[in-house]
Structure 1
Amino acid sequence: MSQPQGLNLTREQITALDNELLTLLSKRRELSLEVAKSKEIDIRPIRDTQREKELLERLVQQGREKGLDAHFVISLYQSIIEDSVLNQQAFLHGRANPDTQKQQYTIAYLGARGSYSYLAASRYCNRRQVSMIDFGCQSFDDIVNAVESGHADYGFLPIENTSSGSINEVYDVLQHTSLSIVGETTIEVGHCLLGQPGASLADIKTVYAHPQPISQCSRYLSLHPHFKLEYCSSSAEAMSKVIEANNNSVAAIGSAEGGALYQLTAIEDGLANQKINQSRFIVVARKAVAVPSQLPAKTTLIMATGQKPGALVEALLVLKAHNLNMSKLESRPIPGTPWEEMFYIDIDGNLATQDLQQAIKELERLTRFIKVLGCYPSETVKPTQLSQAQLLIEPSSSKAAEITEKKTSNQLQHKYSREYRQQNTQVICKQLHIGDGHFAAFSLINMSLTETEFTSLAKQNKEAGFQAVILTDFHGQLNELQFKKYIQIIEQAGLVGVLYIEQDSDLVHGHLADMLMLSGQQMFNQGLLSQLGKMNVGVIIERNNMASIEDWLAAADRVLDQGNQQVVLCESGIRSFAQPERVTLDLAGLIEVKDTSHLPIICNIAANATDIEYSQIKAAKQLNADGVVLNAMEYDANSQLLRQMYQD
């Protein structure tokens, strides 16, 4: 056997090849801009997906001949294609707006250098090869004011995260500003535990962080209950706190790049609940921009439909009629106008197109208020994929391979998904029907009431129109005989009894209840989910207010996998980032779940409203929710609201 060459020599050769690769990638990027210049003249679309497929297929074949894995080649060139598309978009967008082009821009963002907003702004400027003057702000209002006053050219506002959802405070700010949305950017959010050089995990006692990273890292933080959490206005402020403390007992949650600016080291990384954790930012400016027709674009608008029954659905049908895809829908209350909400809608489309212009004209006739917040290039580049045959992984002529592939595909299907079951599931418990066209009303009753008070309230709730009662504040304080008595009272009132499970020990009386409802706090309790999956009783799974939709559906899948197919989902709202104590019903999430899953879904209105709001109930019903949960103590209000609801 020949002696291998020295390690240092091998490393030098690899370094030389890396330098060559970077040079070639730079040349390729320059050529892609030449392509953009040609498309500017010919007015051709930025993307040619057919050519991309042909390119990938050829590269996969050539790569296999050189011993390279097909998936590696595809992954590499998907990133290269994405970079090319975004650079061409930035070039053509700049050419269409020559009056806004400068070599240096003042950018307002949340926090200071090192914050995620700073990293997003830096990436946006780097893409356009312009320099950035920092303008750190303490709040979203400060960012908007800086741009409105002319102290900043652009403002960067975080709008949503793949793990923790939408940032409602930003939507509230957009409701009152004259600024236009002129761009967007998405960054990977890699949360690390950052500390002083030399600090270890065992040293940490206090963790500083913005509410958003705390929400996105809830699973990791639950494994370290001794951490004292201190909320900060930004990740940059959190890192500054660690520097000021100057000891090994404090840490911050932030990015590795941000930590490097503060000379902090990553004690642990990969803290986020989800492996893929991305934040989307919108860019606001004083003037709207022109978006060339060949660029994929988004248009964001806000509208108020008024209180007419079915008004929101009627408005959304306008988009469907014009073949326009709504990629996002959010609702926010209108200050000073009780019972009404403002809807924020992202549409995949260019405002310059006739279809979108016509749709907006029709919406103007249907709505009480409508305003376009901006049309801007979309930075969501969907990767081009190849078929199995194109990948040449398995011979398509092999029947055995086809059977194996089909079997594997079925195994990968989630039981909650519409791919697994097309027809909507209906859960039936005695006289209660939930799902597949049946709308149910649940009331929350506190079990700390006396037997007389409980009996009276149960009868009142039956008269008001409820079909079921959810028993709360149990805490294992009643023996089996006492609990059985409460269930009998519910049954005598003609209602279905649902036990609210807040801890493992609550399940001891589960066999006496008609249904069980798992609290959002226990949604990640895998052992409890498995137990519920083995029971022959309907289960309602409440969404944790810091959980993503994927986490929520995964909890349902855990129950379904154990055999229990009587599963109902309960949307109880998600936490606000700037005000962690505030919980808001996720109507956009409701639409997504209804589209994704066949399971029934109810909305817990009582969990996120101090006063019963009929607008929320109406919105939930119009968006095809299968039921609502209200506070039993609000008898007079509930009686009236339920009558209105059933009339609608």
Structure 2
Amino acid sequence: MPNPQPLNQTREQITALDKDLLALLAKRRSLSLEVARSKEVDVRPIRDTQREKDLLARLVQQGKAQGLDAHFVLSLYQSIIEDSVLNQQAYLHGRANPDTQKPAYCIAYLGARGSYSYLAATRYCQRRQVEMQDLGCKSFDDIVQAVELGHADYGFLPIENTSSGSINEVYDVLQHTSLSIVGETTIEVGHCLLAKAGTSLSEIKTVYAHPQPISQCSRYLSQHPEFKLEYCSSSAEAMERVTQADDKSVAAIGSVEGGNLYRLEAIEDKLANQKVNQSRFIVVARKAAEVPEQLPAKTTLIMATGQKPGALVEALLILKAQDLNMSKLESRPIPGTPWEEMFYLDIDANLAGDAMQAALKQLERITRFIKVLGCYPSETVKPTQLNNSQLLIEPQSQAEQTTAEPPQTTLLRYSKHYKPEATEISRGPLQLGTGQFAAIAQLKLPIEAAELEQLAKTVKACGFQAMIIDGLSRQSEPSQSLAHIRHRLNQFDLCCILTVEHESELTAASQEADILLLSGKLMFNQALLMRAGSLPIPLILERNALASSEDYLAATETILSQGNQQLILCEAGINTFNNASHPSLDLASVVNLKADSHLPVLVNPSHLVSPQALPAQALAIKRLDADGIILSLDALGGIDKDSLASLAGLVEALYR
């Protein structure tokens, strides 16, 4: 066997290839702009999905001939196509609005250089190949005022985040401005813990951050109760305060790119609760923009419908009648008008289109107020997909086809054949099915209000995302007390899960819970399962201790068949032949459920193992790819200080 060439020589060859690849990508991008110029003349749609499918199928075949994985080739060219589409859109949008074209734009954004708003504005200008003159602002009102007074050409406002949701302050600002929305952009938000060079995690005592990143990284921060959190007006301010600090005991939450501007290093990364963490920004200007008809467009409007019954439904039916897709609906209170709301709508349509114009005329007749905030190119580029045959997945041989079992005509809804991707359920801080492990505390009523409040605070500090409340029938005035329980748990960013042990509790619990847990004793109650399956609230179905795996999955199918697809499975032990009086943990069931079903799986070992054996069992549960664990505070020694400290250590170990 010949000796390999020197490593340095191999690296030099790779470097040269990377340089050539970048040059080829730049040339391809310039050619895509030539395509845009042709489409400007011929007025053809910006995307031709059939051509994209043919292109991707051909590239996958060529890649396989050279030993490249089909999914790698597909993912690579999906990114290239997205870049091409967005650049063509930017070019055509600029050509349709020549009076806005300048060699440099002055952009008003939140914070200073290095903030996420700054990064979004930079990307927007780079795509349009113009220079950016930045104007950092301290608040959303300052951004709007800078554009209104002519101090800036555009303002960048964060409107929503995939982790923390809508940014309500921006919606409130949009109610009172004459500016128009002329664009949007979405960026990946990679939260890191940034500190001075050479700082170790153990040295950090204080963390500076904007409230949004703190909310989006709550799970990570709960693992570090030793951190003192200091709120800042922007991520840039947080990084600036770390730079100016005299010691290494401080850190900031921000991006790697922002940290580089302040000479800070990332000592921890991927802090966000969700793997996919994106922020969407809108671009506002003094003058509305024209969107060419071949571009996919969004129209954003606000309206007040009045308080008569069915007013909002009546308005939405107009959109349906015109075959218009509403991609977002948000409500905000109208200042000075108690109990009335303003609705914000994003509609996937061009304002100049016949359907949109017809809908606006009809909406004007039935609303008290309506205003178009802007029409702009949509930057949501859905990747073109290929089917399995196009991805060159080898078919069965003829012999295999003749001996194979005939396919089932009816697919079971819980199975991976019915839905290959894992079901994801998000309820406040609790995220299940996302590949991250969740910890849920469990408590039995009754409990005094003050004691519950203190316990919720402590449980949150231990790293839990939710709390299950058992024993609803033991609480006086159930409906009123349940509302108070949920309020106190939500106050400390804990998801409220109420256990239904009796059929009579279902209605009241469903009105106050974030999630319902159906006790295992109700698993064979078909009527109740069907009622629960018709509710629009996530459900946890606990396995009955006497139920076989087939019985359990049959109950699961009953719930799913009624329409509720937000279902979570819970393994809580089975009665074995040798010990019929005391259930034992069935870890084999966890493996089987994860293999056969797309639904999230929780495990509750609290009443099945001793407190001494719990840490080892909990780690085993995590290694079996369960989505989370339920830990009963009552079964594990109560809620005294020592027990909670032990519990915090266990949760911390599970998150590592």
TM-score by length of 2: 0.68
Aligned to 1:358: 358
Shift of 1:409: 2.7
Distance in 2 (CA, whole Å) between partners of 1:202 and 1:191 is 19
Structure 1 pair 403/190, CA: closer, same or farther in 2 (3 Å)? farther
Aligned to 1:386: 386
Q: What are the superposed Cα offsets for residues 393-416 of structure 1, whole Å, 9 maximum, x if unpaired?
A: 142787559959976433646679
Structure 1 pair 404/191, CA: closer, same or farther in 2 (3 Å)? farther
Structure 1 pair 475/221, CA: closer, same or farther in 2 (3 Å)? closer
Distance in 1 (CA, whole Å) between partners of 2:238 and 2:454 is 39
Aligned to 2:265: 265
Distance in 2 (CA, whole Å) between partners of 1:35 and 1:401 is 50
Shift of 1:116: 0.1
Aligned to 2:633: none
Note the aligned Cα RMSD (angstroms).
4.0
Aligned to 1:149: 149
Shift of 1:489: 6.4
Matched, 1:212 2:212: yes
Distance in 2 (CA, whole Å) between partners of 1:28 and 1:485 is 64
Q: What are the superposed Cα offsets for residues 284-343 of structure 1, whole Å, 9 maximum, x if unpaired?
A: 000001100000000000000011110000000111111100000000000011121100
Q: Helix, strand or coil: the match of 2:418?
A: helix
1:92-131 to structure 2, matched below 5 A, reads 92-131=92-131
Shift of 1:485: 12
Shift of 1:514: 3.6
Aligned to 2:54: 54
Distance in 2 (CA, whole Å) between partners of 1:273 and 1:375 is 33
Matched, 1:69 2:69: yes
Q: What are the superposed Cα offsets for residues 72-106 of structure 1, whole Å, 9 maximum, x if unpaired?
A: 00000001000100010000000000110001111
Shift of 1:245: 1.3
Contact 2:518 2:541 in 1 (8 A): no
Shift of 1:134: 1.1
Aligned to 1:241: 241
Structure 1 pair 474/384, CA: closer, same or farther in 2 (3 Å)? same
Shift of 1:385: 0.2
Aligned to 2:417: 409
Aligned to 1:88: 88
Q: Helix, strand or coil: the match of 1:58?
A: helix
What letter is aligned with 2:38?
S
Aligned to 2:349: 349
1:631-646 to structure 2, matched below 5 A, reads none
Unaligned runs of 5+ in 1: 418-444, 450-470, 477-482, 524-528, 540-551, 571-596, 598-648
Q: Helix, strand or coil: the match of 1:88?
A: helix
Matched, 1:10 2:18: no
Aligned to 1:183: 183
Distance in 2 (CA, whole Å) between partners of 1:159 and 1:190 is 17
Matched, 1:536 2:544: no
Aligned to 1:395: 395
Matched, 1:287 2:282: no
Aligned to 2:340: 340
Contact 1:500 1:519 in 2 (8 A): no
Distance in 2 (CA, whole Å) between partners of 1:58 and 1:136 is 47
1:530-609 to structure 2, matched below 5 A, reads 534=520, 536=522, 556=539
What letter is aligned with 1:234?
S
Distance in 2 (CA, whole Å) between partners of 1:134 and 1:508 is 50
Q: Helix, strand or coil: the match of 2:207?
A: strand
Matched, 1:255 2:241: no
Matched, 1:28 2:28: yes
Shift of 1:253: 0.3
Structure 1 pair 323/248, CA: closer, same or farther in 2 (3 Å)? same
Distance in 2 (CA, whole Å) between partners of 1:488 and 1:267 is 47
Q: Helix, strand or coil: the match of 2:299?
A: strand
Structure 1 pair 299/16, CA: closer, same or farther in 2 (3 Å)? same
Aligned to 1:465: none
Structure 1 pair 128/484, CA: closer, same or farther in 2 (3 Å)? closer
What letter is aligned with 2:275?
K
What letter is aligned with 2:280?
R
What letter is aligned with 2:91?
F
1:441-590 to structure 2, matched below 5 A, reads 487=474, 500=485, 514=505, 534=520, 536=522, 556=539
Q: What are the superposed Cα offsets for residues 490-522 of structure 1, whole Å, 9 maximum, x if unpaired?
A: 69x9x9989958899x99998689459699999
Shift of 1:180: 0.1
Contact 1:415 1:557 in 2 (8 A): no
Shift of 1:569: 11
Structure 1 pair 149/18, CA: closer, same or farther in 2 (3 Å)? same
Shift of 1:155: 0.1
Aligned to 1:328: 328
Q: Helix, strand or coil: the match of 1:288?
A: coil
Distance in 1 (CA, whole Å) between partners of 2:512 and 2:219 is 14
Structure 1 pair 365/559, CA: closer, same or farther in 2 (3 Å)? farther
State how many pairs are aligned: 495
Q: Helix, strand or coil: the match of 2:9?
A: helix
TM-score by length of 1: 0.69
Q: What are the superposed Cα offsets for residues 199-219 of structure 1, whole Å, 9 maximum, x if unpaired?
A: 111111111000100111011
Q: Helix, strand or coil: the match of 2:298?
A: strand
Misfit runs of 4+, over 4 Å: 396-407, 413-417, 445-449, 471-476, 483-491, 495-504, 506-513, 515-523, 531-535, 555-570
Q: What are the superposed Cα offsets for residues 507-559 of structure 1, whole Å, 9 maximum, x if unpaired?
A: 99986894596999998xxxxx9x866463889xxxxxxxxxxxx98x74686
Structure 1 pair 484/365, CA: closer, same or farther in 2 (3 Å)? closer
Contact 1:193 1:254 in 2 (8 A): yes
Distance in 2 (CA, whole Å) between partners of 1:393 and 1:109 is 48
Structure 1 pair 257/315, CA: closer, same or farther in 2 (3 Å)? same
Shift of 1:241: 1.0
What letter is aligned with 1:176?
H
Aligned to 1:313: 313
Q: Helix, strand or coil: the match of 2:336?
A: coil
Contact 1:306 1:368 in 2 (8 A): yes
**Seq. identity, %:** 66
Q: Helix, strand or coil: the match of 1:410?
A: coil
